[in-house]
Amino acid sequence: MGNCVGSPAQVDTFISHPTSGASKALGISRTSHSSNLSSSIFTPSGKSSSQSLPTPRSEDEILSSPGLKAFSFNELKTATKNFRPDSLIGEGGFGYVYKGWIDEQTLSPSRPGSGMVVAVKKLKPEGLQGHKEWLTEVNYLGQLHHPNLVKLIGYCLDGENRLLVYEFMPKGSLENHLFRRGPQPVSWATRIKVAIGAARGLSFLHDAESQVIYRDFKAANILLDADFNAKLSDFGLAKAGPTGDRTHVSTQVMGTQGYAAPEYVATGRLSARSDVYSYGVVLLELLTGRRAIDKSKVGVEQSLVDWAKPYLGDRRKLFRIMDTKLEGQYPQKAAFTVASLALQCLNPEPRSRPKMSEVLEELEKLQDLKSSAKNSPARYKSSMPSPIKSPLRNPRSSLNGTPSASPLSSNRRSPRVR
């Protein structure tokens, strides 16, 4: 299902086509092989606690994860009206996604329109996900629990059938809202809310006692509930972070073109700072309303990072790249703060990028300022004050380039690298 190309790190890089927007809006995922993982559990207080589990876990242990329901195939047939076409809500290389209904208490199938709405992913036997990849998704989402991570309700393993049942996210993906024409553009306040929610999810993964590197952070993997609260989905590429005095883990290059950190693409060395780079790309998408990679553009504009970087550190020029759909309705100082954060996240030197907890702290300050000020957004004016100081530590270097040769093949829809 993809083209195999060599990378400078002499690791295999596979290009696979992304899922449709509707699929990604409902917790659809492609997964990779599982790595050793200790459980990080979200507590009611909002803090994470770590619980050591046997590693690696056996299949029986993974499928016995507390809180996951083992559905029968017949139960999910009933919940989705026998997988009828009118229940289909998404499709991708992995298979199909159906809307279903289950009882909120017993989790047994219920009549359409009653009970709790769920998204049921049914894998194609010949699809991109094999049994090991499907098991990886159960492994991670069966252990990781946080308000900003999508919830896996259960699974079905019945003969050749492999299915996953997720909570339904009614607002779909951030990708759909940013890049597809709709009656209402995403407001500045909503963009900041989404950025904060996604940052909380990443911070939870990175700061857990057993660190988890997400590895595929992008707008398509940020799902939104009815109140635009962001949740990270698709944990198939998640990887256990380095232990001891190690600074990175070496692994096969997998991710999505335009979002993957340059040092990871070039060497296969993965760290939490690789996620920080990807987060910086999404911040750019929130600022500009443009995709990370857009082959419909010409020259440097095809790459969002290359096009936007000359403007991020200049407060007088920033308005030139701001999303026109905002129609100037955003706070000038806050926009420059976000741009400065994005620039630091995109630093070519991984060690000079901030931690996600630091990025989150700065973004929460913006939200706190808005709550206290309670004033309406100002329009961007052509006459602006001198640049303000960067909100985080002084970066060691600015974003002055991208790798000259990337192993990621181009694709208009930002393909995943596998």
Alpha carbon 149 to its chain centroid, in Å, reads: 10
Measured CA to CA, the distance from residue 21 to residue 392 in angstroms comes to 34
Alpha carbon 107 to its chain centroid, in Å, reads: 27
332-345 vs 304-312: helix crossing angle, rounded to 10 = 120
- Are β-strands 152-158 and 161-167 bridged in parallel, bridged antiparallel, or unpaired? antiparallel
- Are β-strands 12-16 and 88-92 bridged in parallel, bridged antiparallel, or unpaired? unpaired
- Known catalytic residues? 216
Alpha carbon 88 to its chain centroid, in Å, reads: 23
- Are β-strands 152-158 and 69-70 bridged in parallel, bridged antiparallel, or unpaired? parallel
349 DSSP 8-state letter = S
Distances (CA, A) of 287 to 221, 293, 326, 337, 342: 18, 15, 9, 11, 10
Residue recorded with tokens 């987060």? 279
Measured CA to CA, the distance from residue 206 to residue 200 in angstroms comes to 10
77 annotated as a binding-site residue: no
In 3-state terms, what secondary structure has residue 56? coil
Q: What residues contact 104, with CB distance under 8 A and at least 6 apart?
A: 115, 116
Q: What is the DSSP string of 104-165?
A: TTT--B--TTSSEEEEEEEE-TTSS--HHHHHHHHHHHTT---TTBPPEEEEEEETTEEEEE
289 DSSP 8-state letter = -
Q: How many CB atoms lie within 10 A of CB 1?
A: 13
Measured CA to CA, the distance from residue 356 to residue 271 in angstroms comes to 12
Q: Which residue ranges are tagged as binding site for ATP? A: 122
